[in-house]
Structures are given as C-alpha cells and as structure tokens.
Structure 1
C-alpha cells in the first residue's frame, strides 16, 4: 500500500466514522491488507491525531492475547495499538455511550513501564522483565468496534483502525513487588454489583510479561521505544462487554484495587 493509498484509506475511514458506517474489512485489489499495511494506516491515523500537538502517546494496547478473545473475534494472532493520553481516565469515570458507535469494555491488567525494556536474548528471559515495571493496575480498555460482524473479521483490518482502541480506565496503581510474575491473578467482572464472568491474568499469551516482551519488540520494529510512564494494556482476560446505558462495570483482579466505570 503506497502513501497515497494509505491517506485515501484513512480519509474514507474518517468519513465512515462521521457517518457511523459499520466496520468493513479492508481490501486492496480484492485481497486482505497485510499487517504491515494495517500498521501503516494506524500510523497515519495517529499522526493526524497528534498533529495539533495537544495530545501524546500514553502507551500501547495489545489485543487478542487470549484464546477466549481470539475465538470471540475469529482471529489467530495478537495485534497492537497506541493509547492516546486524551483517552486515559481514572477509575470511577463515566462514559457516554452516544459518543461511540458501539462501545465495548474489556477487562485487563495494565503495566506501567518504569525503565527501558531490553530485547530478550539467551542471557535473559521473560521473568527478568518484571524489573522494568514500576506499577500495575486493574483496567478497562475502552474500544469501539463500529458494530463489526464478528463472523467475518481479520486481525489486519482491526489493527488498521488502531486496534479499535478509544482509551483506558485505570484503577489505583500498586507496586508489582508483591505479585510475582503477574500470573494467576484471578479476575472477576461485575455488572451493577453482580458477577457475570471470570478469567485469569495467566490467560494472556504466556503471562503478562510475555505481552510486555511482545509489545517491546513491536515498538522496536516500528522505530519506537517503550518509555517510562507509558501504560501497557495486556489484553482482555474476559470477552468484551458491550456497554448498556445505566450500567456500572467493576473489574476485580487479584488483590489490586478494583476499577469501575459507569455508562451514561
């Protein structure tokens, strides 16, 4: 996909978003776009969002990191997106459903980068990466899938639209010191105080630190580096909950403070 094609595709996307057109798969000459082409589109979307200088990249999301979510979306590989600072909210936030085409809430573990993440080599492994994290939190990823048809999805088409990310709601941050390798944190999603689904932090890839290693590699491949203070959303351990006006969602993960969001 050439630069003009990328800009033209993003122009069309902006028109579709304004018109609330449903999500469509991306094609070039009747073939699916590649992930490389998708990330070129994502880069153009972000360049436009950052052009005014009033926003910045607050971190990364990694999506489709669990077997549950891959089955839910009918795809087989993880994808990345960037989180804009303007979309980051604290626990207790209220989201207006009317601000989205179809608002989804995903229950996740968030990691805050404390120092540069090294590339994995024969002399280190995933467990060594815990020292690169200075805080963790229960979190919701805010997504907008634009009323996608989940029976016909491709990872590349989702990635092209910044992997559907529209921000994050972060619970109170805690030191990772007492949480070991961050695996086996049991999660529970509640709607209006009633539990509706469960999952474990171990469900994402080979654990949250594997997600950190993956996104660090992704950033390097795109001439970027994870920076201290950035947040990494490690993937939904519970299938997406589509928002309903008047409902309050709470996500409990291990002994972390829960994260809540209300839908207006």
Structure 2
C-alpha cells in the first residue's frame, strides 16, 4: 500500500472509533488485507499515538495463540500489537466501560524483559529464555473489539487495529526464579469473588517462553527490538470476558499475587 492509502485508512478508523461504528473487516482495493497491510496500518495508528512525545511503547501483546483460533482466522502464527505506557494500570484499577465500544478483559501471564532476547534457533533451549525475564505478574489485557462479529473474523483485520489492545492491568510483580519454564501454572478467574473459569499457562502456544521468543522476532522485524523493562502479554489463559459495569474481576495464577480490576 502507498503511504497516503494507509493514512486514509487510519483516518477512517479514527472516525469509526469516535462514532462507535461496528468493527468491519479490512479491504484494500477490494481484496482482503494481508498481514503486511495490517502492520502498516497498525504502525500508522501507533505513530499518531506517539506523535506528541508524551507516550511510549511499554510492551507488546500477542493474540491468536491457540491453533484453533489461528485456523479459524486463517493464519499459521499469532498476531502482535503494542501496549502504550499511558494504558498500563496497576491492580485495583477501575475502568470505565463507557469509554469503550465493547470492553473485554483477558486473563494472562505478563513477562518483563530484563535483557536482550536471543533469536530462537533450532538448537535453542527455550527454557534458557527465562534468563531474559526479570519479573512476571498475573495480568489482565484490556481489549476493545468494537462489537466484532465473531462468526466472521480475519487475523489481518484484527492486527490492523493494534490487535484490539487498549492496555493492561498488572498484578504485583514477582521473580520467575522458582517457576521453571512457566508452564503448568493454574489460572482461576473470579467475578465478584465467585469462581467463573479456569485455565493453565500451558494453553498459550507451547508455553509463555515460546511466546516471548515469537514477540522478540516480531519486534525486531518491525524495527523496534524489545527493550529492558517492557512487558510482554503472553496470551489469554481464560476466554475473553466482556465486562459488566459494577463487577469486580480477579485473576489468580499459580502462586503469583492476584490481579484485580473493577468495571465502573
């Protein structure tokens, strides 16, 4: 796509967000958008968000981390998006539902980058990547799918809109030193104190460290390699929960401090 075409698409996206227009699949000159198209659009959205100089990229999110969802959306790998520093919240935050078209929260494990993540080669032991992580936390990803029709989805269209990321809520950070390769951590979502759903950190790709390796490649190919201090959201352990005003959601993951968010 030409740069002026990308700018026109993002102009329309911004208008759609303002007008609460329902999410639509992206078409470029009458054809479905490719992932290359999507990431060009995403980069323009990000550039506009960072234009004032008052914000920065605090990390990355990963979507479509299960084979089932990848097959459903017609891709062979996950999709990525960026997390803005202004959208990072601490556990206990209140999020106003009215500020979103359709607000969803996803229960995840967040990893904080401590040092450069090496390229994953055939002889790389993925467990060694734990040495690149200096903190982990139970977390919620905040998404806005703009009332998308889940019977008709395309990975490229989701990726174009920053893979729907609207921020994160982080639980208290802990050291990963006693948790091995971060697999097998049981997760539990509670709504107003009552258990609602369960899952495991095994449910994302081949485990959280594989996600870290994928994000490192994604960020490098985008020309923005991972930096120490950035957070990586490793994918939803429990299916997306669309938020209800007045509810409080808590996510417990293994022995990590729980993360909580209230919907106002």
What TM-score results when the alignment is normalised by the length of structure 1?
Answer: 0.97
| Corresponding residue number in structure 2 for 1:210 | 210
Which runs of structure 2 are paired with 1:242-261 in the superposition (5 Å)? 242-261=242-261
- Once residues 253 and 161 of structure 2 are traced to their aligned partners in structure 1, the CA distance between those partners, rounded to angstroms, is 28
- Once residues 28 and 121 of structure 2 are traced to their aligned partners in structure 1, the CA distance between those partners, rounded to angstroms, is 37
CA contact (8 A) 1:61 1:165 kept: yes
- Cα displacement (A) at 1:62: 0.6
The 3-state SS of whatever aligns with 1:137 is: strand
Which runs of structure 2 are paired with 1:13-92 in the superposition (5 Å)? 13-67=13-67, 70=70, 74=73, 76=75, 77-92=77-92
Query: 1:75 and 1:141, CA in 2 relative to 1: closer, same or farther beyond 3 A?
Result: farther
Q: Does 1:224 align with 2:224?
A: yes
- Cα displacement (A) at 1:122: 4.3
Report the more deviating stretch, 217-226 or 243-252.
217-226
Query: 1:189 and 1:162, CA in 2 relative to 1: closer, same or farther beyond 3 A?
Result: same
- Cα displacement (A) at 1:224: 1.6
| Corresponding residue number in structure 2 for 1:196 | 196
Q: Let me know the Cα RMSD of the aligned residues.
A: 1.3
Report the more deviating stretch, 62-71 or 167-176.
62-71
Report the more deviating stretch, 105-114 or 124-133.
124-133
- Once residues 122 and 190 of structure 1 are traced to their aligned partners in structure 2, the CA distance between those partners, rounded to angstroms, is 39
- Cα displacement (A) at 1:75: 5.2
- Once residues 67 and 238 of structure 1 are traced to their aligned partners in structure 2, the CA distance between those partners, rounded to angstroms, is 15
- Once residues 19 and 188 of structure 1 are traced to their aligned partners in structure 2, the CA distance between those partners, rounded to angstroms, is 36
- Once residues 69 and 25 of structure 1 are traced to their aligned partners in structure 2, the CA distance between those partners, rounded to angstroms, is 17
**Ranges in structure 2 where 5+ consecutive residues have no aligned partner:** none
The 3-state SS of whatever aligns with 2:236 is: coil
- Once residues 62 and 211 of structure 2 are traced to their aligned partners in structure 1, the CA distance between those partners, rounded to angstroms, is 7
- Cα displacement (A) at 1:93: 0.2
- Cα displacement (A) at 1:33: 0.4
- Once residues 23 and 34 of structure 2 are traced to their aligned partners in structure 1, the CA distance between those partners, rounded to angstroms, is 17
- Cα displacement (A) at 1:106: 0.2
| Corresponding residue number in structure 2 for 1:150 | 150
| Corresponding residue number in structure 2 for 1:101 | 101
- Cα displacement (A) at 1:28: 1.3
- Cα displacement (A) at 1:121: 2.6
Q: Structure 1: which 4+ aligned runs deviate by more than 3 Å? A: 67-71, 73-77
- Once residues 162 and 125 of structure 2 are traced to their aligned partners in structure 1, the CA distance between those partners, rounded to angstroms, is 29
- Once residues 55 and 120 of structure 2 are traced to their aligned partners in structure 1, the CA distance between those partners, rounded to angstroms, is 31
**Ranges in structure 1 where 5+ consecutive residues have no aligned partner:** none
The 3-state SS of whatever aligns with 2:173 is: coil
CA contact (8 A) 1:104 1:242 kept: yes
What TM-score results when the alignment is normalised by the length of structure 2?
Answer: 0.97
- Cα displacement (A) at 1:15: 0.5
